[in-house]
Amino acid sequence: MILVINKIDRLVLDLKLSLEGMFQRINKIIETCNAFIAELYQYSDSGCTKLEETGLLFLPPTGNVIFASALHGWSFTTKLIADKMFSNVEGEIDEEALNEKIWNFDLWLDSKKNIKTGAINKGKSNLFIQLCLQPVYHVYHTLGIKLDKDKAQSIIDKLGIEKIPGITLNSNETINQIKAIMAAWQPFDLTVLLQIQCIFPCPVNITQQKIDYLLNAHRYIEDPYLNRCISNITTGFQKHFVIQPIICYVAKTFCVNIKNLTYTMQLQRRFQPRIYPRKTTTITKRTTTPQDTPVDSDNSLDKKIKEIADEIVVMALTKIYIGKLFVGKELYVLQQGYVPNQHELMTNCDDFVASNPYIHKVVIKELFIFVGKHLHSVDQVPAGNICAIKITDEKMVKGVTLSSILEMVPLIEHPSLPPVVKYAIEPVNPRELSILRHGLKLLTLSDPCVQVKTQENGEMVMLTAGDLHQEKCIEDLTRHFAKIELKVSDPIVSLRETVKNTIEEPFQYASVKTPYMDLSVTVVSLPKEIAKVIQDNYDLFETVEEIEKCSIFDIIRMFQNPPERREVQIKTFTNETINRAVKKLLKDLADASSMCGSNWTLLINRIWSVSKTRDSPNLLLNNCSDLSLSIFMETDFWDKRSIMARYISTAYQTFLKAGPICEEPISHCAFIINSFNLLKDLEAGDINAQVIAFEDIAVRNAFKEAFQKRDQRIMDPVYNTNIRLSMAVETSTIRWVNMKETSLRPLEWMKMRKTSWSRQRFR
């Protein structure tokens, strides 16, 4: 952790504190933060480790405390001051020794530049005041309070500043002089960058566990070819090959004003530097009446969109894991879902790329590195760095992998905060709808947590992570991306649909009969114990279900050339870690089902499919006595119902996305297939789009009918938070919480005492 003590300038300009007062105020802030950390440390499970040995405390000599004025563009640490002032101190061995002494309150610097002890007893200013605070105080007191502009040059000479823009230094505004001098003395962005560099680990020291996570290795471990591809790439992660191959990950996209781009190299680029006129009117506030407002033509609307597009540049925040990324390089854009095919890549690679929807080609036109709020153009960036790529292709979106080779799997997509609140949004002037659409497109590129959907009635809905997030999105739209006045509805909270009926109640089945099959299904409420196991092991469920999952055409071919008949076995995995994890998962399911009754104990080992969303756990269960179908079992190629079972699973996942009550996702439900019979053999020639669509609709209608026959309920969201606080304010906090629509659990209250938002839950 790094503590940034900001607004140091206000101690002089606003509070008019002395040097000693500034020091006492800063020291009190650091001591308060450390006391809070010490109190939290009491409730952590940290064994016998002393707090001083953990590195959690904020101590300026360690570099985890930054003193700054972000508005004025400067900051420093004691280490940077020691490096700068070392030549002015006599008798010190090196900069590190001086850094350790700066935060010693009993040391002071005499007139001969020698460090002495006894500052407290003699009433002398300590080293921190003399070396760190006195230069800051002198600049602000001389230029900001006394307004003595003539001493600006002498201050620059004393601080050892070599170069400051003359226009800024000769400004009539003293605050501009102060900003220029302080930013040249200790620039804010450089200080923060140096501290981040100290905290971030070296890319070469990446762990094997981290590599397995990035490559999602457990998902492909059963395929020998994919496993070999992952092994080859793993070597590159550990050694960071200098040139080839190139592997990058686009963490997110964002928008930046073109004025924040700095070109430090000569490039053939489409746009040239231009002077933007200062805007004199505020777009979000209309001063004319509707009668006086001129009707915008289509050309004027297109002109507004073009003006916004010319000001905004879309960038891709990219982490380079292997190789060196440089301008002009052509790379493959690998989307989530891409799987390399050994046969296709060896026989006809070009056709494979052209026909695969998960592969696209892109040429790197411009590269930038981050320097504060500005982006500097560069021609190449080596492995281990984060850079920005100017987006020229709409296929380069958040979560894609950039690679110079096709013999690899996409890097795992980083999870993002799911939106939970909806807002209907529209322009005040209906003719500006096209501008709003363009602005929302830029907003979704700039903010990975926001989603925009268009309802069937044409209404545009913006999904955000909360009220504060919504306010930030509206501000970005009105000030940067759309620059029009907007109307925003009250929040529409995301809901979930479920049923109340338990498994002990009499079943009410819904039946469906198609030309190929006869199906009977019912739905019951999923117990919270089993739902928790599903949420905690969601990734493992997904892995088990996908491994050895055959397509419908593969199953039909197996029926035409059946292997030697044998009993269906439980799935086994070549990776022993997955085998142990599955064994533990089955034990957790058995323990949870035993708490829910004997009926669940019989059904829990016959899981047909699991819902595709972690926050809305659902199960599809097989209760057919003559059907051995489970995600933990191998595919039964001797039972032709396995063909239609794939249709049922697909229809089940589609139905879960929108329930019959208000088209909200379904949650905490268990759909039980009681009977499933094949009425007609399905041959390979019978598979076509019409048959697939008909069977899918029929099965979805059966799920809908079964759901509507039960006691349907709407689940509203419940947000859980654990609170950390001081004992002094515990009573008042409890009183305030009880005034809201909330409840406290005393055991967790006494045990945790921390503030952190948990995953969204529903009741």
Q: Are residues 42 and 103 in the same domain?
A: yes
Angle at 289 between CA 283 and CA 294, to 5 degrees: 70
| φ/ψ bin of 30: left (φ > 0), alpha (ψ from -120 to 50), beta (otherwise) | alpha
**pLDDT confidence of residue 285:** 38
pLDDT digits (tens, 9 = 90+) for 480-532: 888 889 999 888 777 888 888 777 777 778 888 887 788 888 898 888 888 88
Note whether 332 and 361 are within 8 A (CB).
Answer: yes
Distances (CA, A) of 302 to 276, 325, 510: 19, 36, 54
At 478, the amino acid letter reads T
Tell me the Cα Rg of the chain.
32
Is residue 45 very low, low, confident or very high in pLDDT (cuts 50, 70, 90)?
A: low
**pLDDT confidence of residue 52:** 76
pLDDT digits (tens, 9 = 90+) for 187-229: 998 898 888 877 776 777 778 888 888 887 776 666 788 888 8
On the question of pLDDT at 718 being above 90, the answer is no
Pairing assessment for the beta strands 261-262 and 374-378 based on DSSP bridges = parallel
Residue that wins the pLDDT comparison between 269 and 189? 189
Q: Are residues 185 and 251 in the same domain?
A: no
pLDDT digits (tens, 9 = 90+) for 407-457: 888 888 776 667 778 889 999 988 888 899 989 988 888 888 888 888 767
Beta bridge partners of 453: 461
How many domains does the chain fold into? 5
In 10 A of CB 228, how many CB atoms?
13
Sequence-distant (6+) residues with CB within 8 A of 632 are: 544, 570, 571, 582, 586, 605, 607
At 460, the amino acid letter reads M
Residue 144 to residue 130: CA distance in whole angstroms: 20
CATH code, domain with 636: 3.30.230.10
Is residue 277 very low, low, confident or very high in pLDDT (cuts 50, 70, 90)?
A: very low
Residue 188 to residue 183: CA distance in whole angstroms: 7
Q: Are residues 625 and 591 in the same domain?
A: yes
- The percentage of residues in the chain with a pLDDT greater than 90, rounded to a whole number, is 15
On the question of pLDDT at 721 being above 50, the answer is yes
Q: Are residues 548 and 669 in the same domain?
A: yes
**pLDDT confidence of residue 282:** 35
Q: Are residues 365 and 450 in the same domain?
A: no
Full residue range of the structural domain in which residue 472 is found: 421-494
Residue that wins the pLDDT comparison between 575 and 323? 323
Instruction: Give the predicted TM-score (pTM) of the model.
Output: 0.58
Residue 31 to residue 262: CA distance in whole angstroms: 41
Q: Are residues 219 and 168 in the same domain?
A: no
Average pLDDT along the chain: 79
Is residue 387 very low, low, confident or very high in pLDDT (cuts 50, 70, 90)?
A: very high
**pLDDT confidence of residue 29:** 95
Beta bridge partners of 320: 248
Runs of H (alpha helix) within 262-327:
298-311
Note whether 380 and 326 are within 8 A (CB).
Answer: yes
Give the helix/strand (H/E) hosting 479.
none
Note whether 476 and 284 are within 8 A (CB).
Answer: no
Q: Are residues 544 and 607 in the same domain?
A: yes
Give the helix/strand (H/E) hosting 116.
strand 115-117
Query: Strand, coil or helix: what is 14?
Result: coil
Note whether 631 and 540 are within 8 A (CB).
Answer: no
Q: Are residues 587 and 662 in the same domain?
A: yes
| Mean pLDDT across 366-386 | 86
pLDDT digits (tens, 9 = 90+) for 564-580: 666 666 777 766 777 78
CATH code, domain with 352: 2.40.30.10
Q: Are residues 544 and 685 in the same domain?
A: yes
Q: Which of 35-49, 348-362, 558-572, 622-636 has the lowest mean pLDDT?
A: 558-572
| Mean pLDDT across 112-132 | 90
pLDDT digits (tens, 9 = 90+) for 143-158: 999 888 888 888 888 8
Angle at 396 between CA 417 and CA 197, to 5 degrees: 65
- 413 lies in some domain: no
DSSP state letter for 516: S
Residue 593 to residue 604: CA distance in whole angstroms: 7
Long-range contacts of 39-47 (CB under 8 A, 24+ apart): 39/726, 40/724, 40/753, 40/754, 43/724, 43/751, 43/752, 43/753, 43/754
Sequence-distant (6+) residues with CB within 8 A of 440 are: 425, 452, 460, 462, 477, 481, 482
Q: Are residues 253 and 387 in the same domain?
A: yes
Beta bridge partners of 67: 5, 76
- Which residue, 198, 214, 238, sits at the end of a domain? 198
Q: Are residues 490 and 502 in the same domain?
A: no
**pLDDT confidence of residue 445:** 83
Q: Are residues 736 and 629 in the same domain?
A: no
As a whole number of Å, the end-to-end CA separation of the chain is: 36
**pLDDT confidence of residue 349:** 87
On the question of pLDDT at 598 being above 60, the answer is yes
